[in-house]
């Protein structure tokens, strides 16, 4: 099994500014789908081919994967996909904040690294700050799609998203988990999991009209749920 990259190590804390859409896509004012932790980018590369009227940005912390994926992206027919190296928890907030209103219309986090040990939960990609930055950039009705093959990973993502109160699950999103993928192209991990006949847990949220909680408030409430022992000592 591959070693996960520790996003909290000092190397990955370096600020790295992502370019604006004008420098990434041939038609920069199309809606953007952002896929966080996209690995080799097969899902986004496939979606970009099928949906030329969307732009697709994948971000990934493992540089060798990005090198190959972005080479394919740059060679794509429609100029509507890029795969960039960054730590999503460091670089996305500023990038999303600088976007024009309603430019970002879909965000996906698919099969994120699990980091099972409680003391490693802070390495998980969906953290309160990233969730709130995403909620700030998405207008009401726009989508946040989460999927994983690990219940212990999807359940905390759902719990955090619902704790923020910024997203609703539409009635048509089956409970407890939707069986089909709203995206037309599976990821690498999804393909593998489905080939093994293992379950996949999926949730599609839509941004609602609610105002955002503060990051510190959500972080504190989240820590009380996710790591109560540490919450008592801080």
Ligand X SMILES: C[S@@+](CC[C@H](N)C(=O)[O-])C[C@H]1O[C@@H](n2cnc3c(N)ncnc32)[C@H](O)[C@@H]1O
Between CA 90 and CA 20 the distance in angstroms is 16
Instruction: Work out the burial of residue 15: count CB atoms within 10 Å of its CB; fewer than 13 is exposed, 13-18 middle, 19 or more buried.
Output: exposed
Compute φ and ψ for 143, nearest 5 degrees: -105, 145
Q: Would you call 113 a catalytic residue per the annotation?
A: yes
Q: Does 128 bind ligand X (CB under 6 A)?
A: no
Across-strand partners of 32?
Answer: 55, 104
CB-based contact 142:170 (threshold 8 Å): no
Between CA 139 and CA 207 the distance in angstroms is 6
Between CA 28 and CA 176 the distance in angstroms is 37
Q: Does 156 bind ligand X (CB under 6 A)?
A: no
Between CA 104 and CA 114 the distance in angstroms is 26
Residue whose CB is less far from ligand X, 100 or 192: 192
In whole angstroms, how close is the CB of 110 to ligand X at the nearest point? Answer: 4
Residue of 82, 106, 178, 189 interacting with ligand X (CB under 6 A):
189
Residues 161-180 that bind ligand X (CB under 6 A): none
In whole angstroms, how close is the CB of 34 to ligand X at the nearest point? Answer: 11
In whole angstroms, how close is the CB of 177 to ligand X at the nearest point? Answer: 16
Residue of 49, 162, 188, 230 interacting with ligand X (CB under 6 A):
188
In whole angstroms, how close is the CB of 224 to ligand X at the nearest point? Answer: 23
Site string for ligand X, 72-91 (x = CB under 6 A): ---------------xxx--
In whole angstroms, how close is the CB of 7 to ligand X at the nearest point? Answer: 4
Q: Does 111 bind ligand X (CB under 6 A)?
A: yes
Instruction: Work out the burial of residue 230: count CB atoms within 10 Å of its CB; fewer than 13 is exposed, 13-18 middle, 19 or more buried.
Output: middle
Q: Does 134 bind ligand X (CB under 6 A)?
A: no
Residues 2-41 that bind ligand X (CB under 6 A): 5, 7, 37-39
Find the residue with minimal CB distance to ligand X: 37
Strand order in the sheet with 167-168: 81-85, 55-60, 32-36, 104-110, 143-148, 201-207, 167-168
Binding site for ligand X (CB under 6 A): 5, 7, 37-39, 59-62, 87-89, 110-113, 125, 187-190
Q: Which residues are catalytic?
A: 113
């Amino acid at each position: 099994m591959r070693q996960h990259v520790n996003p909290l190590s000092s190397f990955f804390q370096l600020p790295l500014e992502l370019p604006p859409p004008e420098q990434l896509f041939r038609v920069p004012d199309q809606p953007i789908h952002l896929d966080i932790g996209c690995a080799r980018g097969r899902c986004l590369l496939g979606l970009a081919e099928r949906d030329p009227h969307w732009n697709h940005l994948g971000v990934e912390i493992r540089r060798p994967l990005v090198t190959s994926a972005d080479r394919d992206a740059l060679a794509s027919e429609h100029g509507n996909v890029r795969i960039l190296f960054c730590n999503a928890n460091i670089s996305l907030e500023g990038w999303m904040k600088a976007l024009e209103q309603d430019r970002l219309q879909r965000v996906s986090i698919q099969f994120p690294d699990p980091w099972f040990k409680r003391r490693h939960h802070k390495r998980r990609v969906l953290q309160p700050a990233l969730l709130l930055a995403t909620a700030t950039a998405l207008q009401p009705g726009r989508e946040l799609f989460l999927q994983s093959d690990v219940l212990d990973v999807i359940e905390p993502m759902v719990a955090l998203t619902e704790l923020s109160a910024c997203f609703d699950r539409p009635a048509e999103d089956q409970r407890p988990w939707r069986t089909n993928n709203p995206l037309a192209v599976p990821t690498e991990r999804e393909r593998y999991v489905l080939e093994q006949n293992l379950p996949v847990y999926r949730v599609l949220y839509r941004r609602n009209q609610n105002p955002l909680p503060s990051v510190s408030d959500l972080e504190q409430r989240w820590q009380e749920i996710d790591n109560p022992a540490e919450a008592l000592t801080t």
